[in-house]
A and B are shown apart, each in its own frame.
Chain A
Amino acid sequence: MTRGRRGGLHAYLFIGPSLFGVVAFLLLPMVIVFVLSLFDWELLSAPEFAGLDNYRRLAADGGTWHSLLVTVGYVLLSIPLQTVLALALAVLLDRRVKGLRFYRSLFVVPWMATPIVLGLVWQWIFDPRDGAINRALALVGVTGPDWLSDPSWALPAVALVSVWQYTGYNMLFFLAGLQGIPRELHDAAAVDGAGPRQRFWRVTLPLLNPTMFFVTVTNLIGAFQVFDTVYAMTDGGPSHSTEVLNFRIFQTAFKEFDFGYAATLSTLLFAVIFAVTLAQVRFFGKRTTYDLS
């Protein structure tokens, strides 16, 4: 009895600091962001209750909806490509490859790059005149586009940096997932006459569902919040073509000091991420029914 109670006290002492952190720096801010979205506050004067004014303003704010569209565009340009490429690389490495560790390491090198630094490097690679891409294209007689100063190329170029940075890291997860699939299942399917292609679609892919879930959920949550590469490469331009939502929130708060409205934009971003994550939980929840433990 006494031991149990003392055990409980000990446990709370152990958890205390991190619990304080979670409450003060994660939960409290979530509450504040919702409350603040109902206020008009530009820091210098006192906050003023505005009811749903900010949300009415949001509904009519074409620039923000454009930003949301840009964010969705960024997600669609980066996530499918970096997921499929990662899976393909993992499948290639999941056989007897000489130098597996060597290739695996090199593929993961982009992941630990400082995004703001590599963003600047990529900005230079995409430079219309001196950049590596257009100079390489010039060697074969092709005139490359203006990339980051061309509104139709800027967003794909920024998304490509995400593909470059995260494909290898995602590959690690798929590789771990593939190596966790029992060999016998492939053999059994082969005995039943399934070709390599059928085995991939009917055996490998369904069994990779938990990995696929983890990779897509974490990647999407990250991609919806992209900031550093946009800040480094385009500053949201040209003509707002790369102005993702998180960048707009930053501008609204720290350039225009419109904190109430920036909080409203934050709730929009939260709602979008929440909805997308929930949709994925539903989607994968229905499909992940295999239990091999």
Chain B
Amino acid sequence: MAKRVLLYAVLTIGAFVSVFPYLLVVLTAFKTQAQLSSTAPWLPGLPPTAGNLATMLAGDFPRYVLNTAVMTALLTAGQLVFTTFAAYAFARLRFRGRDVLFWLYVATMMVPSAVTMIPLFLIMRELGLVNTWYGLLAPYILGTPYGIFLMRQFFKSLPAGLEEAARIDGAGQLTILLRVLLPLCRPALGTLAIITVISSWNSFLWPLIITSGDDTRVITVAIATLKSGIGVDYHLMMAGSLIALVPMVAVFVFFQRHIVRSVVLTGLK
């Protein structure tokens, strides 16, 4: 019994530590400057104020949120389409050089993004794509080796007879993929979409390097800029943080089973 109590105590402390920073963001986002210094960080400011959120939403911030949403949507769409095509070919088609190519893909999963950042910037500079949407999106919109790996694992787990039956009925490759296999892939596609949404929304270093104007500024870069702009006005910064975090928290709450599934799908092989 005592062991049981200890177990739940440990789990509860862990859960509290996990959500505490989020809690601070919410509490602080609704405090006035005066309440910020008069109340303890972990207590709400009474009465709560919506003034910080209003201030943030009145400026350029909504535009950055929109930019981020557009970037996230395009990268996720690209990832889903191109990854599905490539993973399908790797998993279900026979062609010359397939295994060599696949190992090439797996090898590139080991390439640290920090190492390719500078050459990528220089490539975009040569192409005149610095500070453009093309430059921001190009390196990531054609799908990632990790996504292809994940989807290939899933395609391989589908029974082999599926295509045969469709082929006898005279269906082409594209029809087989779109009509027969894809409907079965919805769980895996969901998982891939979630992972891509989260990593796109959170991406910082590449947008920081490749963009500089308002047209392409995303929310992570905007918040990093806030830091130098408003210094220690934490109530405003937390209001901005809240706006940045809410979409991800919503995604998480609605789709968390997909995140758990991604762990199982990766297969640990």
B89 and A14 contact, CB distance less than 8 A? yes
Does B101 reach chain A (CB closer than 8 Å)? yes
A19 and B245 contact, CB distance less than 8 A? no
- Using A28-B119, A132-B42 as known contacts, say yes or no to A21 and B82 having CB atoms under 8 A apart: yes
B234 and A124 contact, CB distance less than 8 A? yes
- Interface-side segment among A148-156, A183-191, A197-205, A262-270: A262-270
- Interface-side segment among A58-66, A73-81, A223-231: A223-231
Does B157 reach chain A (CB closer than 8 Å)? no
- Which residues of chain A have C-beta atoms less than 8 A from B223's C-beta? 116-117, 120
How far, in Å, is B60 (CB) from chain A's closest CB? 17
- Which residues of chain B have C-beta atoms less than 8 A from A112's C-beta? 198, 202, 248-249, 251-252, 259
B101 and A232 contact, CB distance less than 8 A? no
B123 and A17 contact, CB distance less than 8 A? no
Q: Mark A115-126, 1 if CB is under 8 A from B, else 0.
A: 111101110110
Residues B94-115 near A (CB distance < 8 A)? 94-96, 98, 101, 104-105, 108, 110-115
Closest to A95 in B: B7
- Using A103-B15, A108-B259 as known contacts, say yes or no to A18 and B234 having CB atoms under 8 A apart: no
Does B269 reach chain A (CB closer than 8 Å)? yes
Q: Which of A20, A29, A270 contacts B120 (CB 8 A)?
A: A29
B93 and A14 contact, CB distance less than 8 A? yes
Q: Which of B18, B36, B82 contacts A109 (CB 8 A)?
A: B18
B122 and A115 contact, CB distance less than 8 A? no
Residues A124-165 near B (CB distance < 8 A)? 124-125, 130-132, 135-136, 164
A114 and B142 contact, CB distance less than 8 A? no
- Using A15-B86, A270-B115 as known contacts, say yes or no to A25 and B120 having CB atoms under 8 A apart: yes
Does B220 reach chain A (CB closer than 8 Å)? yes
- Using A21-B142, A113-B248 as known contacts, say yes or no to A210 and B93 having CB atoms under 8 A apart: no
Does B148 reach chain A (CB closer than 8 Å)? yes
Does A4 reach chain B (CB closer than 8 Å)? yes
- Which residues of chain A have C-beta atoms less than 8 A from B237's C-beta? 120, 124
Residues A68-115 near B (CB distance < 8 A)? 89, 92-93, 97, 102-110, 112-115
Residues A242-293 near B (CB distance < 8 A)? 246, 249-250, 253-254, 259, 262-263, 266-267, 269-270, 273-274, 277
Q: Which of B24, B111, B121, B219 contacts A125 (CB 8 A)?
A: B24
B263 and A36 contact, CB distance less than 8 A? no
Could you tell me the distance between the alpha carbons of A157 and B221 in the complex, rounded to whole angstroms?
23
A-B pair number, CB within 8 angstroms: 250
Could you tell me the distance between the alpha carbons of A137 and B172 in the complex, rounded to whole angstroms?
68
- Using A11-B95, A18-B86 as known contacts, say yes or no to A228 and B205 having CB atoms under 8 A apart: yes
How far, in Å, is B195 (CB) from chain A's closest CB? 10
- Which residues of chain B have C-beta atoms less than 8 A from A224's C-beta? 112
A263 and B89 contact, CB distance less than 8 A? no
Greatest chain B CB density within 10 A among A93, A112, A277 is at A112
B115 and A30 contact, CB distance less than 8 A? yes
Q: Which of B19, B110, B116, B252 contacts A221 (CB 8 A)?
A: B110
Greatest chain B CB density within 10 A among A110, A116, A259 is at A116
Closest to A33 in B: B119
| Contact-residue bracket for chain B | 35 or more
Does A27 reach chain B (CB closer than 8 Å)? yes
Closest to B209 in A: A254
B116 and A33 contact, CB distance less than 8 A? yes
- Which residues of chain A have C-beta atoms less than 8 A from B268's C-beta? 173, 176-177, 210-211, 214
A130 and B7 contact, CB distance less than 8 A? no
A107 and B14 contact, CB distance less than 8 A? yes
B116 and A130 contact, CB distance less than 8 A? no
Could you tell me the distance between the alpha carbons of A262 and B122 in the complex, rounded to whole angstroms?
12
- Which residues of chain A have C-beta atoms less than 8 A from B145's C-beta? 22, 26
How far, in Å, is A254 (CB) from chain B's closest CB? 6
Q: Which of B20, B21, B85, B123 contacts A28 (CB 8 A)?
A: B123
Closest to A132 in B: B41
- Which residues of chain B have C-beta atoms less than 8 A from A113's C-beta? 21-22, 202, 245, 248
Q: Which of B18, B83, B112 contacts A225 (CB 8 A)?
A: B112
- Which residues of chain B have C-beta atoms less than 8 A from A51's C-beta? none
15 contacts between A and B (CB under 8 A): A8-B96, A14-B173, A18-B148, A25-B140, A26-B145, A28-B119, A107-B15, A112-B249, A112-B259, A113-B248, A114-B244, A120-B227, A124-B41, A210-B269, A221-B112
4 closest A-B pairs by beta carbon, nearest first, are A21-B142, A29-B119, A32-B119, A29-B116
Excluding A28-B119, A89-B14, A132-B40, 17 further A-B contacts by CB distance (< 8 Å) are A18-B86, A21-B141, A22-B104, A103-B15, A106-B14, A113-B21, A113-B22, A114-B244, A117-B223, A117-B245, A121-B24, A132-B20, A210-B269, A211-B268, A221-B110, A232-B227, A273-B110
Q: Which residues of B contact A (CB under 8 A)?
A: 7, 10-11, 14-15, 17-22, 24-25, 36-37, 40-42, 82-83, 85-86, 88-90, 93-96, 98, 101, 104-105, 108, 110-123, 138-143, 145, 148, 173, 198, 201-202, 204-205, 209, 219-220, 223-224, 227, 234, 237-238, 241, 244-245, 248-249, 251-252, 256, 259-260, 263-264, 266, 268-269
